[in-house]
Each structure stands twice: as C-alpha cells, then as structure tokens.
Structure 1
Amino acid sequence: MNTGLNLRITPRTVQQQTIEKLRLAIIAGVFPPGSRLIESQLCAQLGVSRPSLREALRSLQAERLIEIIPNRGPFVPKLSWEEATEIYDVRELLEVVAVGRCAVRITPQQVKELEKALDAFERAQEIGDSLERVTTAADFYAIILANCGNAILEEVHRGLVARISFFRGRSMSLAGRAQDSLNEMRAIYNAIAAGDEEGARKAAKHHLDQAKAAAKRAIEDEA
C-alpha cells in the first residue's frame, strides 16, 4: 500500500485542495476503514484552518467517504459488503451500457487517449503504485463515459466515482489483482478500438464480475 502521499498544500484554492488531498488519502488507504480522523492532526498535516477542514469533511461526507458521528467526530467508514454489492450492481448497469455505446461512437483521436490512459495504468501496475493505479483506472473509465453519447449516464457515474475508487483500491490490494485488471481493461480497450459493441459489453461484464469477487475477498480479509 502506497502511504507516501504528501498532504501539505498551498494556500491557493485551499478548499478544493483540502477535499482532493483527503479523498486521495482515504482511497490510498492512508486512513484505513474504521479509523478516526483527528481534526487537530489533519489541520497540522494539511496546513489549513479548522473551518476549512470541516467544510472539506462535510463534502466528503456527502460523497460517503467519511461518516461524522455526533460527539465522536469524523471516521472513515468500515467496508460494508452490502454497500459494495450495491456499487458494483450499479456499475454494471452503467458501465456495460457505456462501454458498448462507446465502441460505436468513439473517435479515432479519443481511442488514442484511451490507449494512453491504459498505458498509464500499466505503468502504475509495473511500479506497484496503488494510488496511481486507482486514479489511472478512473481516467480510463472517464474517457469511456465521456464518449458513450449519453450525458445523463456520464453524470450519474461521475457521482459514484469516489466510492468506486474506494472499493477499487481495496480490490486491487489483493496479490495479482492489479495485473488481472490490466488484462481485463486491455480486453475492453481492444473491443472498443475494433468497434465491437458486443465484445466490449462482454469484456466489461467480465471485468466487473472479477472486480466484485476481488472486492469481496478484500473486505473479508480486512474484517
């Protein structure tokens, strides 16, 4: 697990940077599930005021990446298989359709961008950077969603990205899972590049089935 994330930020766009840094830290496992977030420590690590921190925490609460418990403060929620199941079920509804639509709509230039995103994920896999794996996988899917020709589908999926990344980080922590993910994502890319709508849907469904099974094992291990 990559825990070398530098939490220090500059005064510019303090609010957004605070949200982004904390989101990445949670996804990367710097603050593992079940851990309490101590406001005084976070203010010192981030170099921000307590009001700025609390605004950021409220934003992350809206994304369901943290829980704020009365009289106890903010916590990173423990992983729930029920919630994970719901996320993966919705991912299947959205991503299988999006991948199929993308295969028949994407432009040659965007196919190149998709290949670059896949290459970035492969580099992250080769060096074992857990955070970079999560962010580059999100970039790969963002290109697919942006080229599926359905703005509402893209918008709904974007609202789930933080929680998708949260569970993606857990599933890819298993030995060998990141390499399997790379192979599955390459199959999705190949089908999209070939304009194979049905093949792209099948590859996306297989990828999600494998990711869901890996997430279940990771959650059971952490429990």
Structure 2
Amino acid sequence: MPPEMNLRIAPRSVQQETVDKLRQAIFSGLFQPGSRLVESQLCAQLGVSRPSLREALRSLHAERLIEMVPNRGPSVPALSWEEATAIYEVRELLEVEAAGRCASAISKERLVDLKNSLTAFEEATSSKDNLAQVMTAAEFYSIILVNCGNPILEEVHRGLLARISFFRGRSMSLEGRAQSSLAEMKDIYEAIAEGNVKEARKAAQRHLVKAKAAAQLSMTGKD
C-alpha cells in the first residue's frame, strides 16, 4: 500500500509549496507511475485553487515528473527501464567526473557540509524514511556538483535531478539498499576528504553501478 501523507500546505509561497508537496508525493510513491492526477481531488487535498494547481502541474511537467495527456489530463508517467538506463548513463558521466573534480577542489568549509549531508542520509536510513533518504541523497550529490569547479556539470545535473530522484526512490525501496548506498556514499566522502581524485572517481562509479542494478530489480524484477 502507498504510504499515507498529509498533503495540506502551510501558508507561505502557495505556488512553491504546491510544487514541493506534489513532487514529494511522487517521490514517496503516494502517486504511483501511470496513475491519473484528478484536479478536483488535488485541489481539495492541497487546499489550493485550480489556477494555482495548474501552474504547479506545469512546473512538474517541465521536470518530466508528470505528463499531460490530451482528453485525459495530467498523470504520473509510467517511466520505462529504457529511460532509466539513459538517466543512469548520464549520471555516470556527470557524477564520476564531479566526484573526481570535487576531491581536488572542495574547501574545508564545504567538506563539513558534505559530511553533514551524509550524516542526514544515515539518519534517514536508520529511520527507514524513504522520502528523507531520497532528499538527503540528492543534497549529498548537490554539494559534490556545486563544488566540482565546473558550473556546467552542475547545471546539466540539476536539470535531471527530479528524474534522478524518482529512480532513486525506486531503488531505495528495496530491502537493504539504503544501507548499501550509505556504505558506498561513505567511500565517496572519504576519498573526497582525502583529496584522492582517482579513488573518488572509482567510488562514485561503484555506487552508480550498484544503484542502477537496484533500480532495475525494483522496476523490472530482473538483476
């Protein structure tokens, strides 16, 4: 059964809160791939107007997290393993390079931030909070990308972040995967902290190979 989630938003930026809540609902599995998003129901759940909801849906459509089907309305796309494979291939190109560059470029202050994000992921893993695992893992990689010394690498990766997080949620749903991911991310952190460019690249690549295998098992039932 999909997890229960309180979708009602707090009165800050209605637009951004609506986007954030819907994005989190997709990442957490509350809205399953292939399911329709009924506007009247969402307005009631979120407590927002239809214009606000539609603007939020347009933002999520731009992130490729939902699709707009003529005569059917918005829905969560049933993303294929072929698309997942393409995403993981691009992740490998970007994240392996970024990890190596980060090992030689990150400052001591930002290394503390990276350690803190790893600790946050460890706490999410201990509590078995799938959504928190997805979000804290995204923060860990965001810090690596921001500190790799190449803003274009970070920009391209950010454009894929929503779909990366979607597939990360699928792989993290497997029993034991979050714990394995934690060990792999610790290896990446330690290599970066030591300034070991070669080992940072190797650790990032090992992690991605295992993450891809976990996502494949989750999505297709095949190793």
Name the TM-score, length of structure 1 as normaliser.
Answer: 0.97
Residues 46-90 of structure 1 deviation map (CA, whole Å, 9 limit, x = unaligned): 111111111111111111101110111111111310110110000
Task: State the match for 1:14 in structure 2.
Answer: 14
**Distance between the aligned counterparts of 2:58 and 2:108, measured in 1?**
41
Task: State the match for 2:25 in structure 1.
Answer: 25
Aligned residue pair count: 222
Q: How do 1:173-188 and structure 2 match up within 5 A?
A: 173-188=173-188
- Indicate conservation of the 8 Å contact 1:88/1:208, yes or no: yes
Task: State the match for 1:210 in structure 2.
Answer: 210
- Residue 91 of structure 2 is aligned to residue 91 of structure 1: yes
Task: State the match for 2:102 in structure 1.
Answer: 102
Gaps of 5+ in 2: none
- Secondary structure of the residue aligned to 2:68 is strand
Task: State the match for 1:128 in structure 2.
Answer: 128
Shift of 1:2: 7.4
Shift of 1:6: 2.2
Task: State the match for 1:58 in structure 2.
Answer: 58
Runs of 4+ displaced beyond 4 Å: none
Work out the percentage of aligned pairs sharing the same amino acid. Answer: 67
**Distance between the aligned counterparts of 2:12 and 2:147, measured in 1?**
32
**Distance between the aligned counterparts of 1:91 and 1:5, measured in 2?**
30
Task: State the match for 2:112 in structure 1.
Answer: 112
Task: State the match for 2:77 in structure 1.
Answer: 77
- Secondary structure of the residue aligned to 2:3 is coil
- Indicate conservation of the 8 Å contact 1:27/1:169, yes or no: yes
- Indicate conservation of the 8 Å contact 1:2/1:130, yes or no: no
- Residue 220 of structure 2 is aligned to residue 220 of structure 1: yes
- Indicate conservation of the 8 Å contact 1:2/1:129, yes or no: no
- Secondary structure of the residue aligned to 1:7 is coil
Shift of 1:3: 2.4
Residue 210 of structure 2 aligns to which amino acid in structure 1?
Q
**Distance between the aligned counterparts of 2:175 and 2:15, measured in 1?**
36
Name the TM-score, length of structure 2 as normaliser.
Answer: 0.97
**Distance between the aligned counterparts of 2:113 and 2:211, measured in 1?**
24
